[in-house]
Amino acid sequence: MEQVYIGLGSNLAAPEQQLDAALMALIQLPQTSLVRSSAYYSSAPLGPADQPRYTNAAALLETSLTAHQLLDQLQSIELNQGRQRKAERWGPRTLDLDILLFGKRIISDERLCVPHYHMHARPFVLLPLAELCPADFQLPDGRWLKDLLSSCPVDPTLQRLHTPQLSTTQAVDPSRDD
C-alpha cells in the first residue's frame, strides 16, 4: 500500500459540501482507504480574480492502485460532482482533486506530475498537507516540508475554517454491521 496525499479544492456549488462529498467518494474508492483529512481552508482564487474564494483541504489515502489508476478514479469523482474541464487554466470549478504525493515516487509524464508541480508556492496546499504529515517530512525529491512552508509566499487572506467530521470507520472497517 502506498501513502498518497490528495489536494482538494472547490469554489462553486457549495464548496464545503463539495469537499464533504469528495471525501465520502474517496472512502468508496477500490483498494483504497481514507486515513484522515485536514481542516478546510478558505483561500483567494488563483488566476481570474472575479471568481469566488476557494475551499481547500488535503487527504491522506492508503492505496494499492497505481498512480494512473488513482488519477482516473479522482477524475471520475470530479466529473460526478459536476466538474467541467475547460481551456481556462485556473478558472472556477466544482471540484479539483490533485495527487500531491504518491508514496516516495517522482512521476513526470503527459498526465501526471508528482510531487505536484506548484505545491511549493501554494499555502492553501502546504498548510493542509502539513496537518497530515510528521514535522520532519521529506518529499521524494529531497525537499523538506518545513522548508517549503517557511519559503512559501504568505497569503494574508488564507483562513482555517474547520475540520470535517467524517465517519470513515464504517467504510474502512467491513466487519462492522451497523
Catalytic residues: 83, 93, 96, 98
Place of cell 463539495: 18
Give whole-number Cα distances, 25 to 18, 74, 151, 162, in Å.
Answer: 10, 9, 33, 20
Nearest C-alpha neighbor of 97 from the set 77, 68, 117, 123:
77
Q: Quick one: CA torsion of 19, 20, 23, 24, rounded to 10 degrees?
A: -140
Cα–Cα distance between 71 and 89 in angstroms, integer?
A: 18
Q: What span, in angstroms and rounded, lies between the C-alpha atoms of 163 and 114?
A: 26
Residue 86, C-alpha cell as written in the block = 475547460
